[in-house]
Structure 1
Amino acid sequence: MSEAPVKIKRTGKIRNRLLIFIVPIVVITIVVLVFIASTLSKKRMSELATANLNSSISNQADNIVSWLDENLQFFTTAKQTIEGLNPNDSDLQTILDSYYGFNKNSPEGLYIGTASGEFIKSTNSILEEADPTSSEWYKQGITRVNMQYGTAYKNAEGENVISASGIVNYGDDTIKVLSADVTLDKISIIVNSGVKMDKASSFLVDTNDNTILAHRDKSLVSTTLSADNSSKLLSGVAESIANEDYDTKEIGTYVVAFKQIEGTDWILVSYIAQDIILSSVQELANYLLITGVIAVIIIILLILYVVSRVIAPLAGITKSIHSMSEGDFTINVESESNDEIGVMSGKIAEFVESMRHMLSSISEESEKLKQESETSDTVSKNMYDASQSQAEAMQQLNDTVDQLAVAVGDIAENATTLATVVADTRENSERADESMKETVKISQKGREDMEKLSHAMEGIQAANSKLVDSINEVGTASEEITNIVSMIAEIAEETNLLSLNASIEAARAGEAGKGFAVVATQIGKLAQTSSESATNISNLISDVHRLIDEAVGQANASAESIERNSELIRVAVDTFDQIFNNIQASNDCIKEMIRDVQKVDDVATNVAAISEEQAASADEILATSQNMVEQAKNISRHSEDVANNSHELASTSDTLSSHVQQFKI
């Protein structure tokens, strides 16, 4: 036979394998650290930018409120001056002329509109109002006692202004409104140039009609914000204003902050692009990425150096293992360190020494094996002859056990059938016992219900007796009432006679007895009414007597019926007691029968179990005898094989000796 070609595996270096595992881990770790640092920096920069934007918009809002309050204070002072001086027409004109150009934010000065349609202004003012009562400033001012700002609007010259107006009281009681226009140019300057945050922008919106009052883009001033606007920023701001959601948020690519201007319906909106906020974060991320790449390179170089120093002793160990694979155990392995590699070198040295002793022992034992193989050849021949005789005897025993197993199997089958029948009988008895228990419970419940009904009938009988007594008491009371009514009738008759006598005496008295005659007449009428009432009461009491007699008769009939029903219920209770006692006795008999069936079931089960065990034992004996026959045959075959193998063992010992001699020890 030709030997199969040996497949040579390609070998690699441990250093390269370590680098393959370590370098990706290092790179992934640095990338994760750079990502985490960038994410945290982005979050922190966004928080700082949001805080700066909120601070900036708050500062702008404070400046706008301060500017508005400054002008409003000026107008309030002017109103108080006019009311304090209570001027006539000429003095009023002088006062209005003095305020013309006095406040640079309101160059046209103050003006007044009256309910009669009169418009009073400074002599130099170019303002004109044909019907001041229909103007915005008049409609807003007529509802306020103090000077306050209204909504922004365009004046006759097309400028966006806001009027501070209020009712002024001087002279007569005619309604007059003092007002002054304030241009929004100063507010536009505050909105456009008052942003503290670099590269941020702002604009001012009137929430009454979503008009933009101030914006860096002048083309958007006086336009109306709408959710349908093509600009995502403007449409998002319009939607937030509509929902009254003034929290700082991201709209499109911008971070947007909102601030309500105190005392007005204005909303100041400040925004900055997210790219501007994150530009420094991107720069930091680039620096971190470059630093990470440099760190990876340095770490790889350090790993190469460390790994090379650590695994250098493995080269000598590899050379020693290669020599051992070629059968050379004359090598000397030295341990140069106390780490895992040093321990490996020591263990290899111990293995080399152990192999030397083992090979020497194998050479000695192979000689002994050759001698023993010759002895076993003689013994195996003797075993073969004995096993032939044993196989014939075991075959006869197997036939006898087979017949015994068949007989025991029949007994086990009959015992199992008996156990099944007894088990079915026990189950039927248990079901009958359960049914009888249910019957006992039902009869017990029926007896208890009848006892409750008997008690209830006794209560009804007692209540009916009380009712009869109560009705009799009512009859007695009605008789007393009849006596009282009779007495009232007699008193009425006597009173009637007295009134008649009094009338006669009053007639005899003449003019002096007329008053007494009237009284006597009234007493006669009262007596007549009492007599009639007594008669009616007497009739009603007669009806009550009749109803009471009927009620007493019905109550007595009910009492007799209740007595008869109570007797029937007592008979039914006695009958239920007899039924319950009979059922209880039947239940005891069924329980006794179940216990007897249980005993029979246990006996049948034991017989079946014993029969099955005997059958199983017979099967096991049969199987054992068959195995013994097979074993006897196997012994015969094996003894013959042993005789043959003893010859091969002798040749194998020669081969083993030749193989051992190939190793160098």
Structure 2
Amino acid sequence: MSTNGEITSTAVKKKNKKISTKLLMYIIPVVIITVLALVNIAASVSKRRMTEMALETLESSISNQSDNIEAWLAENLTYFQTVKHTIESMNPSEAELTGILDSFYGYNSDSPKGFYIGTTDGKLYKATESDMSDANITESTWFKQGISRIAMAYGTSYTNDQGETVISATGILNDGSDVIKIIGADVTLNKIMIIVNSGVKMTDASSFLVDTNDNKILAHRETGLVGTTLSQSSSDELLAGACKSIDESDLTSKEIGDYMVAFSEVSGTDWVLVSYIPTNVILKSVAQMGTILAIVGAIAIVLIVILILFVVRRVIAPLGNISNNIASMSEGDFTIDVDSSSNDEIGVMGSKVSDFVASMRSMLSHISQESDKLQEESDNSDRVSKTMYEASQSQAEAMQQLNETVDQLATAVNDIANNATTLAQVVADTRDNSDKANESMKETVEISQQGRQDMEKLSEAMNGISESNERLVESINKVGAASEEITNIVGMIGEIAEETNLLSLNASIEAARAGEAGKGFAVVATQIAKLAQTSAQSAQDISNLIDEVKRLIGEAVGKANESADSIRENSDLIHVAVGTFDQIYNNIQESNGLIEAMIDDIQKVDDVATNVAAISEEQAASADEILATSENMVEMANNITKSSQDVADNSHELAETSQTLTSYVQKFKI
């Protein structure tokens, strides 16, 4: 009996140690892996988002620079085209060209050499103060570019005779003569250099401008690279990669070497603007955030491990006490004091064990007293054999009943053990399903948070569209005001034309009065009259065009106002959607908290169910041993009945004692 008790005690101690060790072995690695995974995910997401934001800012910056260059080129080209039309409308002779070019010299700082005109017979006309020179007019770059254009347009960059890199806006001058004339104006790259080098929004970012016709660099922060040609074999990895992308017409934003690079085509030209920023500048804040996340993760792991150790010890300690008490009971020690102060399932278990110990104490005390009586009666067994015979029969019947009762007890205990095992399995399955539900809920939380951020971005985009529409309306209104001023000027030109016509008529009359001496003056007066009539007709045509422009401006303003109303309505709907996403996100967060609490409760139920199953199995084994013992006792009682035939008359007191023992045994309820 002592050996069995030692084996049972050793098994309980090993089991207690095994449960705590398994909990720590399973929970702590999972916590560490989870925290590390979350830190890595957060760092990865931060890196990707910072890179996306940097590219968006870089693309926005380069788009703004491209628009500025385009606007500057368009502004100058409009001026050049206006001067060209003015000269064409005057139909000047070659002798008058220099004077006309002098009248336009110095009005455009972006074209310091002014306008110049070249002819197919090699003549060059320029302003008197201009230092423009060209040794071979018909073979020059600007002449070849302009001879194929009616309207003025920009060509490729080239180096003029003064060694300056310039861009020429050229076109055919239709002055009514038989000689083909090319009018041009050179634009220096100084203004473009300023836009390219100072228009970058991002700190530590730079840009350069490339002409795709010959891959020549038109503007660069390093002045030594201006005028050089890009090559894929360049030792500079950035320049070589940019050249490859331009040659392959792949102008998407990408990473080249140690730089993040964005490309933008300048509308109306064959130029490509390249903007770049070192990758380590973008990822500097990401590295700092990764360090912070790593420190926070390490602290979180330490705190969680400490908390797990505390919880495990708190949960396992009462079970250890109960296991030690059961081991003492198995060794026959019922002087133990069971702690049942806990208010959970473990406390209920301790209370029941304590009740069992008290019952066993009382029963053993009475059995001891009855044993003393049996000892006294055994001394008189020879004299009361007949009484013993009757008592042995009663004892046999009682032991048979005890055997049946113990058999039922064993069956019930086995059922309890099976049910406890099933409960433990069901709880384990429920815990697994709860873990899956918790993971799904976390994914839902992340998705709803991403949807909320996307809706906020859409709201910001709609606000930007609304502001752009308002600026468009303001610009259209300014155009309308400008058209009013042009109308006034055109009216004044008409009045001047009428006055000029009257003056020419008076001059013709005076020339007629002068006779032969006034004929030459009469021819001049006639030409002035024709010019006045042409000016009046042109002024009327311009006035009609301006009226049409006013009408179109009115329609554009109406459409823009309708668009503004639609944008405001969409913005209101988006704000409502953002509020709805906030409410959904909060509800999902609360549901996620409830699921996590439910998982903790299921874990506790799983621990209790496992312990109950183990205890029930031990009790089932004990019940089987009691049943076997009871069967042996029944067999022995039958033998006693057969052998006590000759002492039946002396066993009356022994029967009473047996009845008392039976009454104590029947106190156990199943």
TM value normalised by structure 2: 0.50
- Partners of 1:20 and 1:164 lie apart in 2 by 79
Greater gyration radius: 1
- Partners of 1:348 and 1:40 lie apart in 2 by 56
- Partners of 1:350 and 1:257 lie apart in 2 by 82
Q: 1:199 aligns with which of 191, 200, 204?
A: 204
1:286 pairs with 2:286 = no
Q: 2:217 aligns with which of 212, 215, 232?
A: 212
Distance 1:354 1:223, change over 3 A: farther
* 2:39 partner amino acid: V
- Partners of 1:310 and 1:64 lie apart in 2 by 74
Residue of structure 1 in register with 2:80 after alignment:
75
Residue of structure 2 in register with 1:333 after alignment:
338
Report if the CA contact (8 A) 1:233-1:254 is conserved: yes
* 2:265 partner amino acid: Q
* 1:231 partner amino acid: D
Q: 2:186 aligns with which of 181, 202, 213?
A: 181
Residue of structure 1 in register with 2:111 after alignment:
106
* 2:35 partner amino acid: I
Q: CA deviation at 1:349?
A: 4.8
Q: CA deviation at 1:231?
A: 2.4
Q: 1:233 aligns with which of 238, 246, 265?
A: 238
Q: 1:156 aligns with which of 143, 158, 161?
A: 161
1:296 pairs with 2:298 = no
- Partners of 2:146 and 2:363 lie apart in 1 by 120
* 2:123 partner amino acid: E
SS at match of 1:313: helix
- Partners of 1:204 and 1:154 lie apart in 2 by 17
1:122 pairs with 2:127 = yes
Q: 2:30 aligns with which of 17, 25, 29?
A: 25
SS at match of 2:156: coil
Distance 1:14 1:88, change over 3 A: same
Q: CA deviation at 1:150?
A: 0.6
Residue of structure 2 in register with 1:262 after alignment:
267
Q: 2:70 aligns with which of 55, 65, 70?
A: 65
- Partners of 1:302 and 1:202 lie apart in 2 by 55
* 2:77 partner amino acid: L
Distance 1:358 1:242, change over 3 A: farther
Q: CA deviation at 1:13?
A: 8.8
- Partners of 2:147 and 2:186 lie apart in 1 by 16
* 1:43 partner amino acid: R
Report if the CA contact (8 A) 1:88-1:171 is conserved: no
Report if the CA contact (8 A) 1:15-1:304 is conserved: no
SS at match of 2:193: helix
- Partners of 1:161 and 1:12 lie apart in 2 by 87
Q: 1:55 aligns with which of 54, 60, 75?
A: 60
Residue of structure 2 in register with 1:395 after alignment:
none
- Partners of 1:23 and 1:16 lie apart in 2 by 11
Q: 1:309 aligns with which of 314, 337, 341?
A: 314
Q: 2:228 aligns with which of 223, 239, 253?
A: 223
Residue of structure 2 in register with 1:170 after alignment:
175
Residue of structure 1 in register with 2:254 after alignment:
249
Q: CA deviation at 1:295?
A: 2.6
Q: CA deviation at 1:356?
A: 8.4
- Partners of 1:183 and 1:331 lie apart in 2 by 105
Q: CA deviation at 1:95?
A: 1.8
Q: CA deviation at 1:292?
A: 2.3
* 1:206 partner amino acid: D
SS at match of 1:164: strand
Q: What does 1:121-520 align with in structure 2 at a 5 Å threshold?
A: 121-170=126-175, 172-324=177-329, 326-346=331-351, 348-349=353-354
- Partners of 2:49 and 2:295 lie apart in 1 by 21
Residue of structure 2 in register with 1:498 after alignment:
none
* 1:216 partner amino acid: R
Q: CA deviation at 1:347?
A: 6.0
Residue of structure 2 in register with 1:87 after alignment:
92
- Partners of 1:118 and 1:32 lie apart in 2 by 78
Distance 1:316 1:128, change over 3 A: same
Residue of structure 2 in register with 1:445 after alignment:
none
- Partners of 1:223 and 1:355 lie apart in 2 by 105
- Partners of 2:171 and 2:50 lie apart in 1 by 48
Q: CA deviation at 1:228?
A: 1.8
- Partners of 2:167 and 2:78 lie apart in 1 by 15
1:36 pairs with 2:41 = yes
Report if the CA contact (8 A) 1:202-1:216 is conserved: yes
Distance 1:357 1:56, change over 3 A: same
- Partners of 1:182 and 1:150 lie apart in 2 by 11
- Partners of 1:235 and 1:356 lie apart in 2 by 96
* 2:213 partner amino acid: N
- Partners of 2:216 and 2:356 lie apart in 1 by 95
SS at match of 1:226: coil
- Partners of 2:363 and 2:102 lie apart in 1 by 130
What RMSD in Å do the two structures reach over aligned CA positions? 3.6
Distance 1:204 1:287, change over 3 A: same
Runs (5+) with no aligned partner, structure 1: 372-645, 651-665
Residue of structure 2 in register with 1:582 after alignment:
none
Aligned residues, how many? Answer: 370
Q: CA deviation at 1:112?
A: 0.8
Q: CA deviation at 1:182?
A: 0.5
- Partners of 2:68 and 2:363 lie apart in 1 by 101
- Partners of 2:110 and 2:62 lie apart in 1 by 23
Q: CA deviation at 1:344?
A: 4.2
Report if the CA contact (8 A) 1:50-1:255 is conserved: yes
* 1:254 partner amino acid: Y
- Partners of 1:224 and 1:358 lie apart in 2 by 109
Deviations 1:90-143 (A, max 9, x none): 431112123333211111111111010111112222222122110110011000
- Partners of 2:135 and 2:336 lie apart in 1 by 125
- Partners of 1:44 and 1:351 lie apart in 2 by 66
* 1:118 partner amino acid: K
- Partners of 2:167 and 2:325 lie apart in 1 by 101
Deviations 1:290-342 (A, max 9, x none): 22233333333433443443334234324314423544244343433353423
Residue of structure 1 in register with 2:450 after alignment:
none
Report the more deviating stretch, 52-61 or 11-20.
11-20
Deviations 1:444-486 (A, max 9, x none): xxxxxxxxxxxxxxxxxxxxxxxxxxxxxxxxxxxxxxxxxxx
Q: CA deviation at 1:48?
A: 1.4
SS at match of 2:138: helix
Distance 1:344 1:226, change over 3 A: farther
Q: What does 1:611-650 align with in structure 2 at a 5 Å threshold?
A: none
- Partners of 1:160 and 1:108 lie apart in 2 by 13
* 2:51 partner amino acid: S
Q: CA deviation at 1:28?
A: 2.1
SS at match of 1:35: helix
- Partners of 2:207 and 2:223 lie apart in 1 by 13
* 1:55 partner amino acid: S
Report if the CA contact (8 A) 1:166-1:177 is conserved: yes
* 1:256 partner amino acid: V
Report if the CA contact (8 A) 1:60-1:194 is conserved: yes
- Partners of 1:231 and 1:343 lie apart in 2 by 79
